[in-house]
Structure 1
Amino acid sequence: MKFTVNTVFGLLLMALELNGDIVTRHTNVKCEIYDKLYFEVVTCRLKVLGRGIIGENIHIKVLQLPIRNATVNFGVYKKLSGYHPFLFNVTLDFCQFMRHPNPLSVFYLFFKALRPYSNLNHTCPFNVSNHDIILKDFVLADLMYAKIPFPKGSYMFMIKVATEGVWRGVINAYFDINVDNNPNIRF
């Protein structure tokens, strides 16, 4: 990937827009399964863990095993007049990523933040019975955004999952950055 002067200048402007401390907050999570014979959503919700602390909980039951290959499409969208693509949209072979994680990829930074809260800790094939995909009490830490500058606003992480070359479902996680310091975001 080539970095041009405009790209570096744009990232610098976004970094300068972050005035003071970063404050993040989950606002919503939606799970949609395209193939109900393959996956089943048990839990897909936000949970208040404490004062100002919101945890994301996702529990997806795998109905057809084994899973020999998996593809993940990860995108970040910013809310302007609707959600529009913002900075990243990456598609990768998840099985290859689990065997050889690339610390220089964007997906690695986000997966590293999710990993302590999930049970995604082994490579393909997934063939253990009752192997559900679980993300429990995932809290957005403000330090997660230290390496990647995000300007103030509302965002959506979209994670689409495909197995055997067929798209099976999508998870949309919505969050806000600097909600306490931004007068344009109201609840």
Structure 2
Amino acid sequence: MFSTGTILFLLVILIFDITQISSKFEFTNIKCSSKDKNFVEFEYCYIKSVNRSYKYISMKTRLRSLPINEATARLQILRRFRSFMPITMNVTVEICKFMTDKKSIFNPMLELFNDATKKYTNLNHTCPYDHDIVIDKLPTHYLNQHFTNVLPLPPGEYAFHSIWLIKGIERYTFMIYGTIS
């Protein structure tokens, strides 16, 4: 019915089409809220759209009670079905211990978040933190590499939820919303 040349040609076209399928991550919203304005306040927290293909987020957290020697973060990825539902475990990490010895606390989700943000934040050093926390121009294409190539997520609406506790008290939260298409 088909010659081997025709079958080989169709197979090459099919393989080429499969390898060309790619996902695209895009920011849709960011929400930052301080629970204790006397302790921490957001100077800015926004998404900037430079053009259709280049968006980034920037955030500056002004800490009023320095130095910080004890910080904990709760991290979770949510996916929207009818409402946002958790798709990963709620990971709680003591930031000072994690930054001191990243090998002792092995968690693939923490490694993914650390790799995804280390080039764009000043949080990547050991305690004490005696300065404001900044995420500066974290672009979508950088997160796209991490969340669609490393962690194969299906298309949909997602949210990254982060709660930060300093000295055991919840001080601030931020949510980053995005879509994968």
- TM-score higher than 0.5 here? yes
2:124 maps to: 121
Percent of aligned pairs with the same residue?
29
| Counterpart position of 1:36 | 37
For structure 1, the residue ranges without an aligned partner over 5 or more in a row are 1-18, 179-187
Aligned to 1:110: 113
* 1:113-172 CA-partner distances (Å, limit 9, x unpaired): 11101111221122x3xx111111111232212221211100000111001110111010
Q: Where do 1:74-113 residues align within 5 Å?
A: 74-102=75-103, 104-113=107-116
In the other structure, the counterpart of 1:133 is: 133
- Render the CA deviation track for 1:41-82: whole Å, top value 9, x for unaligned: 100100013332110010110100121110000000111111
TM-score w.r.t. the length of structure 1 is 0.80
Alignment of 1:1-187 (within 5 A): 20-102=21-103, 104-126=107-129, 128=130, 131-141=131-141, 142-145=144-147, 146-178=149-181
Amino acid at match of 1:171: F
RMSD (CA atoms): 1.4
SS in 2 for 1:52: coil
Q: Which runs of 4+ in 1 moved over 3 A?
A: none
Letter in 1 for 2:146: M
SS in 1 for 2:118: helix
Hey, which of these two has a bigger chunk of helix by percent?
2
Counterpart CA distance in 2 for 1:104 and 1:81 is 29
**Larger of the two Rg values belongs to structure:** 2
